Amino acid sequence: MKTRYDVVIVGAGMGGVICGAYLAAGGLRTALFEKKDMLGGRMVIDVKSKGYTGWEHWVTWGQGWGGGYWYNAARELDADVRTYYIPEPCLYYRGTGRKFEIAPKSVSASALTAYVESLSPIRLPEATKKEFVRAFKYAASIPYQEMFREPLANISFYEWKDKLTKDPMVQGFYAAICANSTMCEADEAMKYLSAGGTLSTSRFWWMGEAHCVAFKPDMVEGLVKPFVDVMTRHGGDVFMDTEVVEVMMQNDMAKGVVVKDRKGDTREVLANRVVVNADFTAIPKLFKKLPPEVKEPVDNYSKLPWRDFSLYAGLSRKITDETHPVSVVDPNTGSNLLMIWVLSNPFPWNAPEGKQLVYASRVLPLDKDLAKKVQATIKEDIDDMVEEVFPGFKKAVELREYCSHFPLWHYQHTWYKKIPYRSTSVQNLFFVGDCVDPQESMCIDAAASTGMFCAKAILRLEGR
């Protein structure tokens, strides 16, 4: 470990590793510090035992518009990234007796309208069908970058919905799309997610403009590590199990970091610039005094305590050939009740041969009373819903692992102001990651966009 670098990066999430790869490739002396013993930041591998591999938040492995940012970064930097496409989701309306419906990539207004009508228990009025077509064309006409900028990124869908359409059925459809794509309550999607977040979700998932992908053997080895390899290939240093305990500042200028190794020893590492890649709950711990332009977004995000509850179930035998993820929908509200996916069907390396791995997850309601009610019976409810969708599930289970996370893609899509990539009050301090502005994509690709944007800005400042 050197005593001084051109740039130090705090955290090995997607934004951090892409930023580090570009900076090292650009000739800057770059160091990346990660407090855990695994790369990926919030990209957690939840299950890796008895031959099963399950990863947190499968929906986050997004490949955005025009190929997306991590995709284009891999091309520009020659990172060894290989992808496998995830099948389209299905919708299953619980308790209706209907089979689940595979959701098509609707490339036209007529296609989406026909799909919506196929799900409706009653025939749509002609006026509503015409309004679906008009709203679709309007939503599709917005340049994708504008969905992630003001004003669309900073107004709730509820406040903006009348600009899209005044038909309550069409409004409800867009809210339901967003709720089931983010696995939350429909009313919460309308209230807390931005207009741009709702539109980008619908265009990403349902209009065929972007994709979700998987990696082999997992997202850390298949997506994150290749960018770290680029960084080290160009002389960058990567330190695992090394926690940054403080970003050092003097006279409103970032001057380096204090790091603590696995033995508990601390030392100062000086740098001309500091890039922070940490989730919003961890950022305040890095500063003796949080910059005001960072404090406001962190405080706002902290008011929304989203948590998911997930089950990974290893099955002793095969119970279904279904490759598509299935969203279980409340037919009365349009809210998501559960997302179920037999991970090992499209990607057999996630389970031992002859067995299956089932992932089931839902985001808990923000309302405390409702959340408690859901949590009281959630394990039994998950078992019952998976059994309803895939009969034979309960008898085939040989392994159950439960876990919980706070889903960062929700915070990407809130209408709250994000953390600026370049501090306005502290010189030489930068930020990348899920809740940083500007970002021009969704899920993991949004974090990647911040890493690319920040790195290229720093390289320009350095005259590279």
What pLDDT sits at residue 120?
A: 63
What pLDDT sits at residue 458?
A: 98
Structure tokens of 14? 């997607």
Q: Choose among 16, 23, 4: nearest CA to 43.
A: 16
- Residue 176, judged by CB atoms within 10 A of its CB (0-12, 13-18, 19+), counts as buried
Structure tokens of 142? 């917005």
What pLDDT sits at residue 57?
A: 54
CA 278, CA 293: separation in Å to the nearest integer? Answer: 16
Mean pLDDT of successive 10-residue stretches along the chain, which has 464 residues: 95 96 98 93 73 67 83 96 83 81 77 75 82 90 92 94 92 82 82 91 82 83 95 98 96 97 94 95 94 94 86 95 89 86 89 94 88 92 95 96 79 89 97 91 90 98 92
Q: CB of 451 within 8 A of CB of 18? A: yes
Q: CB of 101 within 8 A of CB of 91? A: yes
Positive or negative CA dihedral for 347, 315, 39, 291? Answer: positive
Query: DSSP string covering 194-213, please?
Result: BHHHHHHHHHHHTSSSSEEE
Classify residue 225 by its DSSP letter: H
What pLDDT sits at residue 444?
A: 86
- Residue 198, judged by CB atoms within 10 A of its CB (0-12, 13-18, 19+), counts as buried
Q: Choose among 405, 309, 404, 390: nearest CA to 357.
A: 390
Residue type, 242: T
What pLDDT sits at residue 56?
A: 63
Q: Choose among 374, 442, 342, 326: nearest CA to 90.
A: 326
CA 55, CA 107: separation in Å to the nearest integer? Answer: 30
- Three-class DSSP category at 303: coil
What pLDDT sits at residue 122?
A: 66
Q: Choose among 186, 174, 223, 183: nearest CA to 70.
A: 223
Question: Which position has the token pair 């709720």?
Answer: 179
Q: CB of 14 within 8 A of CB of 444? A: yes
Query: In Å, what is the CA distance from 201 to each residue of 103, 359, 362, 399, 410?
Result: 14, 21, 17, 33, 11
- Residue 403, judged by CB atoms within 10 A of its CB (0-12, 13-18, 19+), counts as middle
Q: Is the peptide bond before 438 cis (omega within 30 degrees of 0)?
A: yes
